[in-house]
Amino acid sequence: MTNKLRIALIGAGRIGQVHARTIVQRVPSAQLVAIADPMPNAAASLAARFGVATATTDCIALITDPVIDAVMICTPTDTHAAYIKAAAAAKKHIFCEKPIALDLGETDSAIAAVAAAGVTLQIGFNRRFDPNFVRMQQAVAQGVIGTPKIVHIVSRDPAPPPMSYIRVSGGIFLDMSIHDWDIARFLMGSDIQEVYVQGGITVDSAIGAAGDIDTHVTLLRFENGAIGTIDNCRQAAYGYDQRAEVFGSAGSIETSNNYPNNTTLSTATNISRDLPLNFFMERYAEAYAAEIESFVLAVTTKSPPAVTGYDARKALIAGLAARRSYDERRPVRLAEFV
Amino acid sequence: MTNKLRIALIGAGRIGQVHARTIVQRVPSAQLVAIADPMPNAAASLAARFGVATATTDCIALITDPVIDAVMICTPTDTHAAYIKAAAAAKKHIFCEKPIALDLGETDSAIAAVAAAGVTLQIGFNRRFDPNFVRMQQAVAQGVIGTPKIVHIVSRDPAPPPMSYIRVSGGIFLDMSIHDWDIARFLMGSDIQEVYVQGGITVDSAIGAAGDIDTHVTLLRFENGAIGTIDNCRQAAYGYDQRAEVFGSAGSIETSNNYPNNTTLSTATNISRDLPLNFFMERYAEAYAAEIESFVLAVTTKSPPAVTGYDARKALIAGLAARRSYDERRPVRLAEFV
Amino acid sequence: MTNKLRIALIGAGRIGQVHARTIVQRVPSAQLVAIADPMPNAAASLAARFGVATATTDCIALITDPVIDAVMICTPTDTHAAYIKAAAAAKKHIFCEKPIALDLGETDSAIAAVAAAGVTLQIGFNRRFDPNFVRMQQAVAQGVIGTPKIVHIVSRDPAPPPMSYIRVSGGIFLDMSIHDWDIARFLMGSDIQEVYVQGGITVDSAIGAAGDIDTHVTLLRFENGAIGTIDNCRQAAYGYDQRAEVFGSAGSIETSNNYPNNTTLSTATNISRDLPLNFFMERYAEAYAAEIESFVLAVTTKSPPAVTGYDARKALIAGLAARRSYDERRPVRLAEFV
Amino acid sequence: MTNKLRIALIGAGRIGQVHARTIVQRVPSAQLVAIADPMPNAAASLAARFGVATATTDCIALITDPVIDAVMICTPTDTHAAYIKAAAAAKKHIFCEKPIALDLGETDSAIAAVAAAGVTLQIGFNRRFDPNFVRMQQAVAQGVIGTPKIVHIVSRDPAPPPMSYIRVSGGIFLDMSIHDWDIARFLMGSDIQEVYVQGGITVDSAIGAAGDIDTHVTLLRFENGAIGTIDNCRQAAYGYDQRAEVFGSAGSIETSNNYPNNTTLSTATNISRDLPLNFFMERYAEAYAAEIESFVLAVTTKSPPAVTGYDARKALIAGLAARRSYDERRPVRLAEFV
């Protein structure tokens, strides 16, 4: 038992609950030893549910508690950097939800703190662990489609989040699209060099009133000369739409959506199937588990994590550049943000 | 021009019109020189439509006319055998719609007449020329799926024919299923040895009143030991359903239906596509053309036809055996009909 | 804690391990309190893995232990009936893997013991909980496809089990096909009335030497007049093939296989996807969990179980009738076994 | 006979041959009365093949021949405008292959000549008649997907044309992409307002040496605020790739490729289907016929043509703007070309 990685969960909200379940049920080499959440009862309630011994509202105290080996930071974005620095100072390994921060300077100082401490930091880009994207990335990396030339990513939500969330989200480019900048880099094995955005308000004018947009298509150029597009919309009538294609010199690989079943119904009207799995909790259920397993394995085997602070930084810059492109109506090179 | 195969069409009904168009528009090595149909004006009207010089109501006179090389028999089934014999006696090559006759003796005497005359006889089993079934047969014959073990054939019509047709059709086993007995043999490369039928009336009780059934599934055993099923129904709510699978020791090959377009519509209700091509004229349009091209090529190159009188005989026997199996509620070996 | 259903697992083999994991990880309203297996260390090893307090080699002692509420019987088939009777006598609720016995008399006496004791008995026909078959059954039951007329079931394994297993399996009709007899009844909402089998040895002659066959297609007639086919083979080159279609008066519903991912690869050779999920542990992972949840819910809410002893009895009779049909080469009515 | 639209074909090359066959075989209300081609024997050979009475090398003489009602201009692009003007002056109706010219001024003067003459001009944007794009356009126009927001078009060729063709083609934006600018407008029901291009040489450096590129993805903004992308490549390893999606407020409609058959092969390696129909002659066979039928119907019923000179002008401007965007590495508004 004492050989297990002792993890503290910081933040008992929706994604924190997902990770708690994963550690308890699927990762025998780890143990969830404590939960912290500033909201009264949030940590205690979750701890009771999964038989976790310790619950507290003092996040910093838990992060520095000598009994733990690693922290899992699932709090709101504006606290990530501070908690990463605290954990690094206490020599704890860190799994942190994306993004590290909405600000490049804060992101860099958090990454520097991790580097100085020599601990492991993995970022929660869960889609990298989805069986579909994994399969695509392998095919590209193994050369099955030759030299990759073009990537298309479609990522549309079933419905926009509440306006209260939208207002603190950092905007579509840093909140929703952050996964897509990362998957684009993951699939293509190259950094984004330039973005040009077309977008606007097509779902809800309240989102526009909050200074954000809800729909965009962004044209990308990668460092290796490849081209890409990202299509994001806060609402698709038919549900969660998560697809991609990579086209290369020797072929193409694409993924369709995941469905709750594989039945086809033929009636006098049409030939139909049920709607796709409705949202990220269902679609990426397996990916959420796989990313935690990957983190624990990286720490326990002292291997590099699958998703690094550098990856978080690169996705952040793409989001900042996209926002500038949208605001200034011009192509923006990511080098403007170095 | 004089090198073209001079064809007379006997029977200007629906399928006769299809073949007329094919000869005129798609087979440069043949010429439709005359049309006969006992119905007043039927031949003349069709001849005018395609610029054919001669039209008559006297089928026998046309069959024996020295100016023609070949006849295409598209009249009702009960005239096929007599016309085949007349054509054979006149040394004409023959394309005849399926079946030769509903009676085995008449079938055999027609085949014997053809053999004695040394002319070419091809039977109108058009599905053998459908790109889907052709591709399946090739895969099986080339051993891509190893030794074939099991074949499943689904063949359902969008709606039953008029009762006037049902009454003279010879019954579902000789009318509708005749194609399926033939495709089963074609795909498996082996003759049917035994049939056992489960069936009844599920579409229209008038069909039962006429002494026929409208639905059956028949279990087959082939001479080579393989197994098969044929699923026939006179009505499928979603249209014409024409599918098959051959399962073998090294894999399986199957075909889905043909559709009018390849679009997929995603709405808040479901993910759908349009219904399949509705009936045989659309689904087998290409097959109808290919079978005539094949016949003309067989005659002009003095090669064996793709579908022989033997094939017609074998399909007939399967249909007779199926009827007996249904009537007597027992498995019936085709050897009972030798 | 004391409100949880206290379950003892009897049999720590492959399927026992699956159920142990499910109880521990996915069913908060149940507790796995003990494991028994006559093999030395088997129970202890599994108990250690999931933190279960008690492990023993004495199955009967555990079944009658007052501390438990229910037993989960996962031992070899020839022990099922005895353990069911012991559990019923001790007033324990029972989940038992299929089949109850290979013998109808023993099956009936086990069912009678359960009835006399008034406990719950659920049989492990896991496919009834597969999202695909559930969706099909709902569509049929809700009349979406009108009156069901025909069902086709394809169930092929990736490879045959070891000969040691084949020899004690009861033969393909009672071992492998037992699921299909049950799914046929489940989908159609009607009992099987008659079977006629075509089958033989196409995979491995050793299976024939053991008095069994490895391939069959069986034609079914249901009590309600509907027709069905079941296609079973111990080996499909492309893996685990689990498909079905129900055709009705208003349409059709079918299911394709489940795949490890939804990617499509296009190369100069062809357009391809990866092979289906390879075997039952992967394909039916969700179904295994759902059936245990269903059992616990039935017991705790005092509701009828989703799969009863009657269902086990009906599937057994279909298997016995199929064997007789194969041996005697004739259609066999299930009424012969009443 | 004298009521038929008398058509002269100008240009007996590849596409001219396709149209000749269509008129002769599929359009009973039209008659191909003469063929002109400056290449010796080209017209005569084609005329012989389809039984056309007149063949000449003098295109202008044929265009002005009083015996004809309409001309079909299938010559190289640099002759289109002159022939259109000649035909308009002679009061002939005109079907002209795309584009009218590579130069906007020449395009405008040709359109003006047609308007002044009051004759019908239809442009050969054949994809507008493809059953897939027709179905998509209908769904969009009927509001089935709500307000259209985003369109994605993928159009990749199986292999680049010969360098001799590339050099006079006008470049990828005016040659290959011209269809896509048009389909984008057709599907969205709105004109393109701005383009931004990412592209380069990924197929053959000789194309670059000729001053052209072979790959691009262009981001579009439409007048109605919608967004689009066009993905073009001169080579896809798996063949001709012609797909599109329109995403709207109430759903999405997309089309996949067309295939030579609908069979699926399952082996120990993977689950596969054959490659798509290889190139435009096969993929758009039906569209080529439908566009000629549409033209003849427009002329004979004095209705507006389905594709106008305005459409040709709009597609040309998009191509010119795309080239400028590529050259100057900036978004270009089409208004720059008014």
Give burial (CB, 10 Å; 0-12/13-18/19+) of C105: exposed
CB contact D265 to B (< 8 Å): yes
DSSP state of D99: P
pLDDT in tens, D232-255: 999 999 999 999 999 999 999 999
Distance CA C192, CA C183 (A): 11
Of the candidates C237, C241, C271, the beta carbon closest to that of D272 is on C271
Q: Which of A119, A151, A184 is the last residue of a domain?
A: A119
Distance CA B208, CA D183 (A): 53
CB contact A264 to B (< 8 Å): no
Q: Is residue C198 part of a domain?
A: yes
Residues B112, B187 within the same domain? no
Other beta carbons within 10 angstroms of residue D138's beta carbon come to 12
What's the mean pLDDT in D139-166?
97
So what's the ipTM on this one? 0.95
Residues D174, D62 within the same domain? no
CATH of residue D81's domain is: 3.40.50.720
Q: What's this model's pTM, rounded to 2 decimal places?
A: 0.96
Nearest alpha carbon to residue B87 among B103, B106, B66, B101 = B66
What chain D residue is nearest to A253 in terms of C-alpha separation? D238
Residues C240, C210 within the same domain? yes
Contact B274 A272 (CB under 8 A): no
Q: Cβ distance D70 to D77 under 8 Å? A: no
Q: Is residue C183 part of a domain?
A: yes
> Nearest-CA distance from C165 to chain A in Å?
31
CB contact C273 to D (< 8 Å): yes
Pairing outcome for strands D70-73 and D54-56: unpaired
Tally B–C CB contacts below 8 A: 101
Chosen for mutation from B142, B262, B284 (greatest number of chain D CBs closer than 10 Å) is: B262
Count of domains observed in chain D: 2
**Predicted local confidence at residue D284, as pLDDT:** 96
Tally C–D CB contacts below 8 A: 49
The token pair at C121 is 């008995």
CB contact B231 to C (< 8 Å): yes
Residues B53, B96 within the same domain? yes
Q: Is D125 left (phi over 0), alpha (psi -120 to 50) or beta?
A: beta
Residues A38, A149 within the same domain? no
Residues A157, A278 within the same domain? yes
Residue keyed to tokens 């201009």: D73
What average pLDDT is seen over chain C?
Answer: 96
Of the candidates C236, C268, C274, the beta carbon closest to that of D270 is on C274
Q: Facing residues of D247 across strands?
A: D150, D252
Q: Is residue C307 part of a domain?
A: no
- Chain D residues within 8 A of B258 when measuring between CB atoms: 262
- Chain B residues within 8 A of D274 when measuring between CB atoms: 135
CB contact C184 to B (< 8 Å): no
Residues D153, D261 within the same domain? yes
CB contact B141 to D (< 8 Å): no
CATH of residue C232's domain is: 3.30.360.10
**Predicted local confidence at residue D3, as pLDDT:** 80
- Chain D residues within 8 A of A330 when measuring between CB atoms: 330-331
Chosen for mutation from B266, B274, B278 (greatest number of chain A CBs closer than 10 Å) is: B266
Q: Cβ distance C94 to C122 under 8 Å? A: yes
Domain range for B102: 5-119
Amino acid in position C150? I
pLDDT tier for residue C167 given thresholds of 50, 70 and 90: very high
The token pair at B11 is 């029977």
3-class secondary structure per residue, B69-80: CEEEECCCHHHH
pLDDT in tens, B259-305: 999 999 999 999 999 999 999 999 999 999 999 999 999 999 999 99
pLDDT in tens, chain A (338 residues): 358 999 999 999 999 999 999 999 889 899 999 999 999 899 999 999 998 999 999 999 999 999 999 999 999 999 999 999 999 999 999 999 999 999 999 999 999 999 999 999 999 999 999 999 999 999 999 999 999 999 999 999 999 999 999 999 999 999 999 999 999 999 999 999 999 999 999 999 999 999 999 999 999 999 999 999 999 999 999 999 999 999 999 999 999 999 999 999 999 999 999 999 999 999 999 999 999 999 999 999 999 999 999 999 999 999 999 999 999 999 999 999 97
For the cut 80, the answer to whether the pLDDT of residue C1 exceeds it is no
pLDDT tier for residue C40 given thresholds of 50, 70 and 90: confident
The token pair at D207 is 């194309």
Classified as helix, coil or strand, C168 is helix
Residues B91, B61 within the same domain? yes
CB contact B303 to C (< 8 Å): no
Distance CA A127, CA A184 (A): 11
Q: Is residue C309 part of a domain?
A: no
Contact D217 A219 (CB under 8 A): yes
Residues D159, D196 within the same domain? yes
Contact A221 D200 (CB under 8 A): no
Q: Which of D119, D142, D164 is the last residue of a domain?
A: D119
Of the candidates A136, A262, A266, the beta carbon closest to that of C263 is on A136
Q: Which of B60, B92, B119 is the last residue of a domain?
A: B119
Q: Is residue C284 part of a domain?
A: no
For the cut 90, the answer to whether the pLDDT of residue D338 exceeds it is no
Contact B132 D263 (CB under 8 A): yes
Tally B–D CB contacts below 8 A: 83
**Predicted local confidence at residue D173, as pLDDT:** 98
For the cut 50, the answer to whether the pLDDT of residue D212 exceeds it is yes
Residues A84, A144 within the same domain? no
Q: Is residue D297 part of a domain?
A: no
Provide φ and ψ at C283, rounded to 5°: -60, -40
What's the mean pLDDT in D295-311?
97
**Predicted local confidence at residue B28, as pLDDT:** 86
Distance CA C336, CA A239 (A): 52
**Predicted local confidence at residue B26, as pLDDT:** 86
CB contact D330 to C (< 8 Å): no
**Predicted local confidence at residue B1, as pLDDT:** 39
Contact D145 B267 (CB under 8 A): yes
Distance CA A225, CA A248 (A): 12
> Nearest-CA distance from C285 to chain D in Å?
22
pLDDT in tens, C192-250: 999 999 999 999 999 999 999 999 999 999 999 999 999 999 999 999 999 999 999 99
Contact D238 A252 (CB under 8 A): yes
Q: Which of residues 8-27 of D touch B (CB under 8 A)?
A: 25-26
- Chain C residues within 8 A of B329 when measuring between CB atoms: 331
- Chain B residues within 8 A of D255 when measuring between CB atoms: 261-264
- Chain B residues within 8 A of C233 when measuring between CB atoms: 149-150, 247
CB contact A206 to D (< 8 Å): no
CB contact D281 to A (< 8 Å): no
For the cut 70, the answer to whether the pLDDT of residue D163 exceeds it is yes
pLDDT tier for residue B338 given thresholds of 50, 70 and 90: confident
What chain B residue is nearest to A267 in terms of C-alpha separation? B238
For the cut 90, the answer to whether the pLDDT of residue D1 exceeds it is no
3-class secondary structure per residue, B244-289: EEEEECCEEEEECCCCCCCEEEEECCCEEECCCCCCHHHHCHHHHH
Residues C138, C273 within the same domain? yes
Q: Is residue C40 part of a domain?
A: yes
Contact C275 D270 (CB under 8 A): yes
Residues A115, A135 within the same domain? no
Q: Is residue D286 part of a domain?
A: no
CB contact B153 to D (< 8 Å): no
Terminal CA-CA length for chain C? 45
